[in-house]
Amino acid sequence: MQPQVEEVPLLRIYNTLAKKVEEIQPSTPGIIQMYTCGPTVYRDAHIGNLRTYLMADWVRRSLIHSGMQVTHIKNITDVGHMRQELAETGGDKMIMAALAEGKTIQEIAQLYAGRFHRDEARLNIMEATVFPWASEHIPEMIAINETLLANGHAYEKGGNLYFDVPSFPNYGKLSNNFGGDLLEGVRSEADPLKKDPRDFTLWKAAEPGRDVKWASPWGEGFPGWHIECSAMASKYLGESFDIHTGGVDNVFPHHEDEIAQSEAAFQHQHVNYWIHAQHLLADGAKMAKSAGNVFLIEELIERGFSPLSFRYLCMTILYRHRMNFTFTSLKAAEKALTGLRHRIWLWSQEPEVSGHDSNKEEYRRKFWDAVESDLDMPRALALTWEMVRSEMPGRAKLDLLLEFDEMFGLDLHKAPAENAVTSEITTTLDLRGGHREQSDYATADSLRGQLASDGYLVEDTLIGTRARPKTPLELRQEKWASVSSSREVESYLDQPPELDFTFILNAYGYPSDVKRCIEGMLKHSGNYSIEVLVIDNGSTDGTGELLEEMLTQHPELRVVHCDHVIGDAASKNIGLMQSRGRNIVVLDGSAEITGNILDSVSLTLDDPAVGIFGPWGLSTPDMQHFHEEVDTGEADAMQAYCMAFRREEVNTVGLMRECFRFYRNLDIDYCFQFKDKGFKIIADSSLPLVRHEHRQWTELDDNQRDELSRKNFGRFLKRWGNRPDLLIAADAVGFENQQRFHH
């Protein structure tokens, strides 16, 4: 995109340093120098990271439109110091990932850097002027550290170099963290070598056996968490420059520390404008692996979405407001983007428009005013749709929309070529049109169906018939309908039961396990009327296709497809709400029914005092752990490999708590919902079931298992930890009387 010649007002945007919206004034007229904290290349950038890079891209596009020449630096962190927490076996995450994949550290860094550049290209993010790699700028980092040491802003202890925070009076001016309220700006436990707990590391001595290290005046080691950005920014942009962007989580400590070390070294202001993007939430929660809600661009593509649909979605929320990503909203964005492409394609076939149009100029003025007013992309987008629906000639709207897209970056100019059809398709459309003119609608509909099966969408409009290739999402949706959350599913719980039993299976992948589990249910249902309700929880490994095939063979089977992994509790809640059996049996895909269990389930649940029944019970005397298995009789909880209960009681105890995205400890939590209403949990290990490998568990590493289990157990304790009265042990104690827990 070439800079505009005409003078246009410059962007007014919120400056985190000034705590207000300011108009950007370049240090050098006509030139903007801009730095963005780039990716750490021992993992893929997720969509939350990419929202921040999109924000920077829109800042840059706005400035280019205003006639600025922008130099944009985006660093690549490849030295493994951004996350200092160590795996129990030693080594940082980059080293562990390299060893696990059989690659050198350099190879794995190149791999993930390549994926990052690929994803930025997919999102149409303009390439940075330079992508400097941290490992190639160690001398610059050492030089700044030497300056800080010489002028009294740093000190050395034990081969480590620390920034002396009390020596810099302005520390905290970006984040407003001052004095006694200041939290220690480190990721690890307190360092006893520091003079002040607020001091941060500029250079870290290499521990024995560490591979990633460099020689320095203080011995072999590696740079601290923050120094790389100061070094690379100053090398490519100078000791003072215009704009620094990043995510809001960078404000403290990273950017606060960057200001301190840079200004202490250079003796003047480092950056004039600090611009930060707010968090992206996913399904209402901050994105985290432990929450199971981290999404990559590659995963969106696998589910049939265009990456530019995510770009469009990010424009619907102001950059400094939190954004809640859902697949429902992504579908809406895909639909809107398809609508804009439609119009580009349609208007491009209209004749050119000559003469001045005052409406066109007014829309242009309003659009760029929105963009320049704190990068208000939602308002700019709303004005765009107002223009699109206006009475202006189509060609005039085309010109404006393509101009606006220089800011949006949606590649709308490609729509005519992407929607082009072959001469064979055009001939078929003409033939169909002839049959419609002759009122031969049966033949016309047949030709329409033929085009649809060939992958084309046919639309009859007032100005004629047109066709275009179906989008990947449309092709996927044709295979089966899908939902994005349990809220989209109708509940039958208030209706009387129609069957004896409902089996519920949360299918989180592993098609062979799913097939084995379903076949066991069907084979051993006896004379009972049953339904098998399977929730395809966002699988991409062929499970969905298997279930669709099984649907044609088994009338008892019903399937609800989810367009992404919605979490264990939400998936099972879909099954509960859709169930029609008097009794419900929830099974895990790793469990296999090998005989008649339904007689025992029916007999046991005839006792109104029994809430949940199953083969694998658990007990605890103290709420700290539920590792004691109960073979027969009353238990404190039932493992969800197989648990049965009366459908009518769901209205009494409620649905499962959807904060449990991972399955672990959800079963205990739901059992306590029953116990809270006075019901018993009964175990009988003689039920004919077999537990196979639980691959959802075994394919996690030890750290993932521990983190996911611990967080879910914390959710359980927060609600039930003060209820020892619900335990069967007479001398049970509640969690509030204990110092710690383990599970």
Same domain, 433 and 492: no
For range 470-481, the mean pLDDT: 78
User: DSSP code of 12?
Assistant: E
Q: Residue 7 pLDDT more than 60?
A: no
Mutual orientation of helices 307-314 and 47-65 as an angle, nearest 10°? 70
- CA 673 to CA 686: how far, in whole Å? 25
Three-class DSSP category at 86:
coil
User: DSSP code of 212?
Assistant: S
Same domain, 657 and 715: yes
- CA 331 to CA 312: how far, in whole Å? 11
Contacts of 182 (CB under 8 A, 6+ apart): 165, 171, 172, 198
Average pLDDT of the chain? 90
* Torsion on CA atoms 371, 372, 374, 378, rounded to nearest 10: -10
Which residue did the predictor score with more confidence, 336 or 211?
A: 336
- CA 625 to CA 638: how far, in whole Å? 13
Helix residue spans in 502-590 (DSSP H):
511-523, 543-551, 568-578
Q: Residue 391 pLDDT more than 90?
A: yes
Q: Which tokens go with 654?
A: 């409620």
Q: Residue 609 pLDDT more than 90?
A: yes
* pLDDT band, very low/low/confident/very high, at 707 (cuts 50, 70, 90): confident
Same domain, 361 and 444: no
* pLDDT band, very low/low/confident/very high, at 704 (cuts 50, 70, 90): confident
- pLDDT, residue 3, reads 47
Same domain, 400 and 451: no
Same domain, 583 and 667: yes
Q: Residue 561 pLDDT more than 80?
A: yes
Which residue did the predictor score with more confidence, 8 or 199?
A: 199
Domain of 373, in residue numbers = 297-417
Q: Of 647, 666, 494, which is closest to residue 576 (Cα–Cα)?
A: 647
Q: Residue 89 pLDDT more than 50?
A: no
Q: Establish if 699 belongs to a structural domain.
A: yes
| Cα-Cα end-to-end distance for the chain | 56
Rounded to a whole number of angstroms, the CA Rg of the chain reads 30
For residue range 92-135, what is the model confidence (pLDDT) as tens digits?
455 566 666 677 788 888 999 999 999 999 999 999 999 999 99
Which residue did the predictor score with more confidence, 108 or 387?
A: 387
Q: What share of the chain in percent tops pLDDT 70?
A: 91
Q: Of 612, 603, 673, 599, which is closest to residue 638 (Cα–Cα)?
A: 612
Q: Are strands 271-277 and 200-205 parallel, antiparallel or unpaired?
A: unpaired
Q: What share of the chain in percent tops pLDDT 90?
A: 73
Q: Establish if 124 belongs to a structural domain.
A: no
- Total domain count, the chain: 3
Lowest-confidence segment of 461-475, 486-500, 518-532, 613-627 by average pLDDT: 461-475
Same domain, 404 and 442: no
Query: Which amino acid is residue 729, in one-letter code?
Result: A
Three-class DSSP category at 654:
coil
Q: Residue 271 region, left (φ>0) first, then alpha (ψ -120 to 50), else beta?
A: beta
User: DSSP code of 496?
Assistant: P
Same domain, 324 and 433: no
- pLDDT, residue 737, reads 45
Q: Establish if 494 belongs to a structural domain.
A: yes
- CA 540 to CA 484: how far, in whole Å? 15
Q: Which tokens go with 456?
A: 């084309």
Q: Are strands 617-619 and 628-630 parallel, antiparallel or unpaired?
A: antiparallel
* pLDDT band, very low/low/confident/very high, at 364 (cuts 50, 70, 90): very high
Contacts of 26 (CB under 8 A, 6+ apart): 10, 32, 68, 242
Backbone angles phi, psi at 379, to 5 degrees: -70, -40
Which residue did the predictor score with more confidence, 104 or 8?
A: 104
Three-class DSSP category at 147:
helix
- pLDDT, residue 189, reads 56
Same domain, 447 and 363: no
Same domain, 620 and 722: yes
Same domain, 376 and 445: no
CB atoms within 10 A of CB 230: 27
CB 510 within 8 Å of CB 547: no
* pLDDT band, very low/low/confident/very high, at 90 (cuts 50, 70, 90): very low
